[in-house]
Amino acid sequence: MPRHGKKRDDSRQLRIEVTRAIVALRSAEYKVMHLENRIGAKISQLNQRLVQAKRQGRDDEATLLAAEIAERMKLLDQIRGFRLGLERLRTRLETVKLVGEARPLLQGIEPMISEIRSNIATSIPEVGIIYAQLEERLAELGAGLEAPLAPASNPPSQWAATDDEVRRILREAEEVARAREAQDMPEPPSGGKS
């Protein structure tokens, strides 16, 4: 009889650890979504400045803005990949919690954690901090994680915008600027006298 009680306690402890990990994952997802929204808003703001610079003929400034937009878009894509990895891991752990005693399912989370680790944008300290906090919680599950990432203070950018991306963004901004200029131009007066 004592064996049965031990198994029940182990299963209960596993469910508690899985629940804590799910809560930590959900919290990390919200933080990353907030970061995504901030970067998206900054991209929109930069797009507005880009269109304004194109309308005013400031091509050098427009080129710099287009390069910055391209950099931020790449960063945003990587952060989205990180968030999706978090969602997949959370879904797996929710499945483990529903199934109950599912240690074999827990062993399958290693590749998911590796994918999340590979999608970390180390040039944003907030993401490194979110991952470090999450890693502590996952370590309690016995997932065998490596040492947490230390957020770098001023790491070099890993993403360089290509000339093609910058040119594409500049073309789009020029089209928007032309459309706005056409919209702002007054209609020519009609030529007939009464």
Mean pLDDT (the chain) is 74
Mean pLDDT for 95-104 is 70
Considering the chain, what percentage of its residues have pLDDT values greater than 70?
A: 68
- Inter-axis angle of helices 109-118 and 125-139, to 10 degrees? 160
pLDDT digits (tens, 9 = 90+) for 147-156: 333 333 333 3
Q: Report all structural domains of the chain as residue ranges with CATH numbers, in order of start.
A: 10-184 (1.20.1260.60)
Long-range contacts of 143-147 (CB under 8 A, 24+ apart): 143/106, 143/109, 143/110, 143/113, 144/110, 145/113
Q: How confident is the model at residue 122 (pLDDT cuts 50, 70, 90)?
A: low
pLDDT digits (tens, 9 = 90+) for 77-99: 888 888 888 888 888 888 877 77
